[in-house]
Structure 1
Amino acid sequence: MKRLRLILFTSMILFSFLLSLIPSAEGTGDGKLVYYIPVEQAVERGLGAFLERSINTALDEGADHLVFEINTPGGFVDAAGEIAGLIRNSPIPTTAFIIDEAMSAGAYISLNADQIVMMPGASMGAAQVIDGSGTAAEDKAHSAWLARMRNAAELNDRDPIYALAMADPEIDIPLAPSKELLTLTSSEALEVGYAEAVVNNRAELLEFLGLQNAEEREMEVSFAEKIARFVTHPIVIPILLSIGSMGLVLELYSPGFGIPGIMGLSALFLYFFGHMVAGFAGMETFILFGVGIVLLIIEVFVPGFGIFGAIGIGAIIGSMVLASYSTFHILISLSIATVLTIIVSILFFKYVGYRGPLKRVIHTDATKTEEGYVSNVTRQEIIGKTGMTLTVLRPSGTALFTDERLDVVSEGGYIGQGRKVKVVSTAGSRIVVREVHESKE
């Protein structure tokens, strides 16, 4: 029995040793690791944060090559510059694999990779800078962008004229009709040296790279990063802040805690959460925001001459600025949210009325005449009575009616002292008199 066990044990060791001698089926790509990183949808700050995490993860896991699978219509210049810097400064080889389109900022990002490979039917170009109104940017921004495009093309000895034609319709070349931006198809890009190869799939790409049997891994955008990419979009930020501020203000106009409050808090939570996931904010922003809310509550219930309220508003604005990637963008967004909130609050207060929780601490009742309240009794019974002025009326003064001194006012003219006057009308404390002229016989 012992002998049988010894034989089995020796056989297992020998079998393991023989397996280790068998050549791996990975061929020329033995031991290599390729990471695929998607560059999809709009180019914005959230995408930059995802790419930074992806590159760091790939490097930590010992990747030998980074493949950026690009399919984007473009986006924002500042975010494109940040992403291009990440790709350009990668310590390992990079390939921009354009699977559909690399327009505008996407073309610029692709040019910063070590090489460009395209799929049939893919395209790149149309990279002119436009402003918020959809028109061409001013000369200063346009000139800076042209310099970026030129530098990106020259990184890998590409003819910069094509990169400039992508960004400037005034540049006339055979591939771009006059006054139109250049967009290269995959075959055209290959022809002019803006693509190293055209392949049909990942397998052909790896074969071109000499990594056909390398291990392949793919980065995926997490659910939290998808939220972050959405809420950090410059167009979405003012919408979120507007919903947040309007929701909280309308909650003050409504009894209890309901839909407006939930919407407001959810919008603000998404703003901070998205910016935290994207790497722009930390827990200090949540703490500062919470302090601001507490101070505003204290201002409502504790008289403080506005000090608590002012500090609270400052803390809230400060937390949003700290969480944002751009002070300019967040201030614009806050201005939009403030204007919309004021307009909605006025309309809501006018047509719906106030029924919120502050009704308990704010006195809103009024003493109306319709309810029997008057500030002064109107002396209807003295109309028609005559008296004597005790003082000059210019036009107000004092007159004596029987044994009662009254403050009176003339109809507008001067009435001397000791003149006979008659009460012509009364309205509250206002008694109007007219001089009586006695006729001579």
Structure 2
Amino acid sequence: MKKILFIFILIPCTIAAIAGSATLSVTPGNDTVPDSSVIARAGQVSHNSNTLIYKCEMKKTIAAPLWRSVKKSFAEADSLNADFMLIHMNTYGGQVDIADSMRTLILNYDIPVLVFIDNQAISAGALIAVAADSIYMRSGAGIGAATVVDQSGQKMPDKYQSFMRGMMRATAEAHGKKPVIDGNDTTWVWHRDPEIAQAMVDPSIVIRGIVDTGQVLTLTTLEAIKYGFCEGQAETVKEVIEKAGIKEYTIKELKLTLVDKIIMFLVNPVVSGLLIMLIIGGIYFELQSPGVGFPLAAALFGALLYFAPLYLEGIAANWHIVIFVIGVILLLVEIFAFPGFGVTGVLGIIGIVTGLALVMVDKIVFRFGPSIDGVKEITGAFAIVILSAVLSFLFSLWLSRKLFAPNRLFGSLALETTVDKADGFESFDTGKLQSLVGSHGVAHTVLRPSGKVMVGNEIYPAVAETGFISRGTDVIVRREEQGQLYVVAADKA
């Protein structure tokens, strides 16, 4: 089905590219048979006292949290057997792939969809609005300016614009044509002119009386009414319903559950950034004190809160999570199996950072292959993760000083006295430990990788350089570092 939809979108894209900068007329010809099924269904509902209108708020950036509430609204309207869906819109756009999902949902919906543009339907918002059966706009509102831009507001390459042009044309064409009768002559005209819809994306299109070349089209309320992109002007939801010819009605709207609110809170970009800081900070402290466990548990908990809602929203794909999990596994292997910090640890950190960063990249970047703008967006995502890591590190240092400094909250937990040889305490002599390098011994305990070995008649703490070493295995001391012996199994030396 997705392949068929993509082909359906691609064909008008190709036609749009061939059309180029041709000068177009506002009134289309009558050379095709009209498809009025979409228009007709708005009149199939009996406007009686049982009319149920389901209202869906669309007043945020077109992104995952809004998409979740829209899907739930449409599903609940289905379950209630609503007669109309009313979208209350005021948006400046957002993610193209999510906007595509919304407009597809509207086009394929079983009941008439009304849109009330309460100020703006810009960029991706225009695409969604054009998909509705009827559009009503407040005075001073606008619809259009649907050119695809990156996060910095810069125009994306033409292949992105071609995709958007095709979607705008296809969406307008989906509403079919309507008859205009002049005496004995009947002319079929587009209900929503595809060329005008395309001009909202393509600045090269000239439409006499509407837009000159080099300008992306945005229609005011009166212009939208004049050129068939608005059924009427309304100032309130009540006025929209009256203009739609509905006399008696009941309005229902989505009531978010506690789970919905938690998920929407977690997918907030600010919260996601804080969770990244928790993940990176936990991993950092675990690297500083291997085996403690609590920092790593905090990092994994942060990862669960970061990925779970994004996965439920359809933002995080399976491969994002797989990359992150592989990174965590490699890092755990580095911490518990290979003392020091080597290739395994580096690959683990790369996997973790990559998994966290690529979730933030718009899927449309991957749909069209490599591009300069795509590289910029991916680089920006990695920069956010790295910045979060730096901030997490600095915050952790500050918090440690505040909590564990003398006379602070946890200051009493820190040992402030010193012990020395005069008090009867004696550590291993570093010189003696260095003299043991090259000596043979026996693993006194299992080394996982830390443990104890017996060299001569004395027992020393030691760390296995590679893997685990079973108790009773012959070992060789390879090196001494900061008062710590590092050993290997004799049969692997």
Report the TM-score when normalising by structure 1: 0.59
Contact 2:357 2:381 in 1 (8 A): no
2:478: which partner in 1?
Answer: none
Q: Quick one: structure 1 residues 312 and 97, their matched pair in 2 at CA, closer, same or farther if it must change by over 3 Å?
A: same
2:281: which partner in 1?
Answer: 247
Higher mean Cα deviation, 191-200 or 345-354?
A: 345-354
Contact 2:93 2:124 in 1 (8 A): yes
Q: How many positions carry a matched residue from both structures?
A: 334
Deviations 1:24-54 (A, max 9, x none): xxx9522221100111211123322221121
Does residue 158 of the first structure (1) align with residue 177 of the second (2)?
A: no
1:58: which partner in 2?
Answer: 77
Aligned pair partner of 2:97 in 66, 73, 78 = 78
Q: Quick one: structure 1 residues 160 and 337, their matched pair in 2 at CA, closer, same or farther if it must change by over 3 Å?
A: closer
1:125: which partner in 2?
Answer: 144
Distance 2:400 2:47 in 1: 76
Distance 1:352 1:289 in 2: 27
Distance 2:322 2:166 in 1: 42
Q: CA deviation at 1:128?
A: 1.1
Aligned pair partner of 1:205 in 240, 264, 267 = 240
2:153: which partner in 1?
Answer: 134
Deviations 1:382-411 (A, max 9, x none): xxxxxxxxxxxxxxxxxxxxxxxxxxxxxx
Contact 2:147 2:155 in 1 (8 A): yes
Aligned pair partner of 2:217 in 148, 159, 182 = 182
2:228: which partner in 1?
Answer: 193
Q: Secondary structure at the match of 2:89?
A: strand
Q: Secondary structure at the match of 1:29?
A: coil
The code of the aligned residue for 2:198 comes to L
Higher relative contact order (CA 8 A, sep 6+): 2
Q: CA deviation at 1:350?
A: 12
Q: CA deviation at 1:96?
A: 1.4
1:168: which partner in 2?
Answer: 202
Deviations 1:66-123 (A, max 9, x none): 1111110111111111111111110111111111211111011000111111222222
1:49: which partner in 2?
Answer: 68
Q: Quick one: structure 1 residues 231 and 126, their matched pair in 2 at CA, closer, same or farther if it must change by over 3 Å?
A: farther
Aligned pair partner of 2:133 in 104, 109, 114 = 114
Q: Quick one: structure 1 residues 91 and 241, their matched pair in 2 at CA, closer, same or farther if it must change by over 3 Å?
A: same
Distance 2:345 2:305 in 1: 24
Does residue 145 of the first structure (1) align with residue 179 of the second (2)?
A: no
The code of the aligned residue for 1:84 comes to R
Q: CA deviation at 1:318?
A: 9.7
2:253: which partner in 1?
Answer: 218
Does residue 89 of the first structure (1) align with residue 123 of the second (2)?
A: no
2:38: which partner in 1?
Answer: none
Does residue 268 of the first structure (1) align with residue 303 of the second (2)?
A: yes
Q: CA deviation at 1:199?
A: 1.8
Higher mean Cα deviation, 133-142 or 302-311?
A: 302-311
The code of the aligned residue for 1:64 comes to D
Q: Quick one: structure 1 residues 266 and 97, their matched pair in 2 at CA, closer, same or farther if it must change by over 3 Å?
A: farther
Q: CA deviation at 1:136?
A: 1.4
The code of the aligned residue for 2:194 comes to P
Deviations 1:138-171 (A, max 9, x none): 1211122112112222222212232222212333
Q: Secondary structure at the match of 2:114?
A: strand
Larger Rg: 1
Q: CA deviation at 1:252?
A: 4.0
Q: Quick one: structure 1 residues 92 and 47, their matched pair in 2 at CA, closer, same or farther if it must change by over 3 Å?
A: same
Distance 2:167 2:319 in 1: 36
Contact 1:237 1:333 in 2 (8 A): no
Report the TM-score when normalising by structure 2: 0.54
Distance 1:31 1:345 in 2: 56
